[in-house]
Structure 1
Amino acid sequence: MLKIEVGGAPSYIVEVGSGLLTRLSVPHKQVALVYPADLPPSFVAQVQAALSPAVTVEVPARDGCKTLSVLEGVLSKLAQVNLTRDSAVVGLGGGAVTDLAGFAAASYLRGVAYYPVPTTLLGMVDAAVGGKTGVNLPEGKNLVGAFWPPRHVWVDVDTLATLPPATFREGAAEAYKHGLIANPSLLARVLSPDFVPGHPSLPQTVADAIAVKAGVVTRDLTEQNERAYLNFGHTLAHALEAVTHQAVPHGEAVGYGMHYAALLSRELGGQDLTDHTRAFLKYQQPKALPPLTFEDVQPYMARDKKADAEGVRFVLLHDLARPYLARVPEEVLRRAFEMWRKEVGPITSPIHPT
């Protein structure tokens, strides 16, 4: 069993290991379990047996659950069974569900305890740790939410064996990102043939990726400065997700976005790290993108949550493990986009989002 402490007020522990679903325990008499429709029924049954939830709430899979209407339905279910202030919400599933369930916990009765139990690699190394919760709007990703740290996080790596290989590789984007911004030893490990469900080294690699985020969150919970570095590659990634109406899954969008950010970093005088981001795209094998132009994605990048009154800020790299925030002139954004577009595919015709 591996344990990572996330500092704060209060601090909490992330447990990483095998067989954790059957050993869950929370000090609350009433528990609400939120899970996605595509989750293996055995996972739900194990958690139900361990926690005896007062109510279970099935929600749409993936980003289909991250809407205000789904959030309203979850909150109504909590109210219908009269969950009290000393109750808890457990979010079981991928990153979208843990985002939704955490926001429901933050909102219901102005805040009840929250426990994420991520079952995807993306959820484990990113979404379930750090206390960011929320849902999407048609105008962009994660524009509504709250900082609501969990009380405890359980990462059962056995659940990864059920993931399709493409979904596992999707989650690898966040682990690789942590290597680029803070722990370069993760880069080779993520691309290694050993980075697969069931391999003895997997729990340690997952724990090391989580530790990067835990350290950043401990120092900067509400993203006043350093926490923004965790968004390396995400400015374009969120734009790709929004402009394609989630047809590009988050982890693949991050893979594409990291390569764009590496190109921007090089254009602004940083070390050329594009070989690393190309290597990741080769490993990840993301789906081909639909036709896109700079004009398609630019409005979504402008609404990125790292923007302030002076404009959009990008997370870039001086070198490995040396991230920084910068405003990038539009001509540089456009030039790098054209380079990126030539590398990632023949995407030359505009699209018109509805």
Structure 2
Amino acid sequence: MEEKLFRNEKIEFTDGLNRTFEKLPEDALFVVDRKLLQVTEGLMTFLEGKKMYLFDASEKNKNLSELEKIYDFLLENHVSQTLIAIGGGITGDLAGYAAATFKRGIPFVMVPTTLLSMCDSSVGGKCGVNFRGIKNYIGAFRKPDRIIICLEFLKTLEERELRSGLGEILKYGLIGNRLILDDLLSSDKDLFHLPMKEYILSGLLIKSEVVQADYSDQGIRNILNFGHNVGHAIESVLEGAVTHGEAVALGILAEIDLSTMKLGLNPETGIKAMKIMDKYGLRRKISADKEKLMEAIRKDKKNDENMRFTLLSELEKPEIKVMVQEAEILEALTVILE
């Protein structure tokens, strides 16, 4: 039923792992996050006898060297089969870029297994690899032919991985659906019992509408970058010490501060975001060199001759490509630095 909600994305929700596996073609090739084999009952049985590439998913391994290994796997095995990625956002980014570029494009299906990839990275078609320590500097646009979301995979996640997904959910609450924020603040449920399907649907609805309007990311799609200029810099500088969602949440705090400076955003927005982060255990401070963060921000691919940020003028009112000065960024970074 949810499939009909998404006008420009082939997204479907399934009931249970077995139903998910039944939907996948028998002769497919697989790129699979290796750690899933230990935590997902039945996955190894399903994959038995199938051709697969096991990937040790990490930002460090999201690189051209690992991509070349997937190309070797495809060169050895691919005739006309679909490539299926089973894993989180890193696995999907890498496999998606391989599918986009091998033989100038082969069929591709994504089975996201993390909260973050379910609500965000599996949708929209962006894929790629990190280069010289810079996040997603080499990439392409390649939508999966299908996205199959099975909430059973959430049961395999550790608490930190759920928090990571909450970082992107927080973003969607700020840029497009404040009811997410209200629900997170008022809920008496812990992280493991939140209504994740509702949050996933809310995020996907926002993202799919934006992507439909601006697939190539030249205009309104930039609103999805809120929190990501600073967030990507944090990931680059701390080299895996924080997850993507943790970095985005920290980036959100800094960019809320910038929004208050530049666009007069009500400071209550920052207070609300901090309360949510505290309530669910998302870190609000990091130890990092401010100048190194600044250097990484300068290299962000979203910049032109100036540094450009997506900021908020009000809740649910993001403004794109706002020119920001270095001094303002350095001041905002103090909000998240110990």
Structure 2 length-normalised TM = 0.91
Which residue in 2 is equivalent to 1:271?
Answer: 266
**Does the aligned pair in 2 maintain the 1:314–1:328 contact within 8 Å?**
yes
What displacement does 1:40 show? 3.6
Amino acid in structure 2 at the alignment position of 1:335? E
**1:289 to 1:265, Cα distance in 2 relative to 1, 3 A:** closer
**1:232 to 1:31, Cα distance in 2 relative to 1, 3 A:** same
**1:105 to 1:195, Cα distance in 2 relative to 1, 3 A:** farther
Select the residue among 283, 296, 302 that pairs with 1:300: 296
**Does the aligned pair in 2 maintain the 1:62–1:94 contact within 8 Å?**
no
What are the equivalent positions in structure 2 for 1:47-196 lying under 5 Å apart?
A: 49=46, 54-81=50-77, 83-84=78-79, 86-191=80-185, 192-194=187-189, 196=191
What secondary structure does 2:149 align onto?
Answer: strand
What secondary structure does 1:3 align onto?
Answer: helix
Number of aligned residue pairs: 334
What secondary structure does 1:212 align onto?
Answer: helix
C-alpha distance in structure 2 between counterparts of 1:148 and 1:5, whole Å = 21
- CA offsets, 1:57-77, max 9 Å, x none? 101123243111111001100
What displacement does 1:183 show? 1.0
What secondary structure does 2:36 align onto?
Answer: coil
Amino acid in structure 1 at the alignment position of 2:58? R
Which residue in 2 is equivalent to 1:317?
Answer: 312
Amino acid in structure 1 at the alignment position of 2:32? Y
Gaps spanning 5+ residues in structure 1: where?
Answer: 347-354
Task: Give the alignment's Cα RMSD to 1 decimal.
Answer: 2.4
* Aligned-pair identity (%): 31
**1:154 to 1:27, Cα distance in 2 relative to 1, 3 A:** closer
Amino acid in structure 2 at the alignment position of 1:22? R
- CA offsets, 1:21-74, max 9 Å, x none? 53345686741111112114464844873x888520101123243111111001
Structure 1 length-normalised TM = 0.87
C-alpha distance in structure 2 between counterparts of 1:111 and 1:47, whole Å = 28
Moved over 6 A (4+): none
**Does the aligned pair in 2 maintain the 1:315–1:324 contact within 8 Å?**
yes
C-alpha distance in structure 1 between counterparts of 2:49 and 2:223, whole Å = 37
Which residue in 2 is equivalent to 1:352?
Answer: none
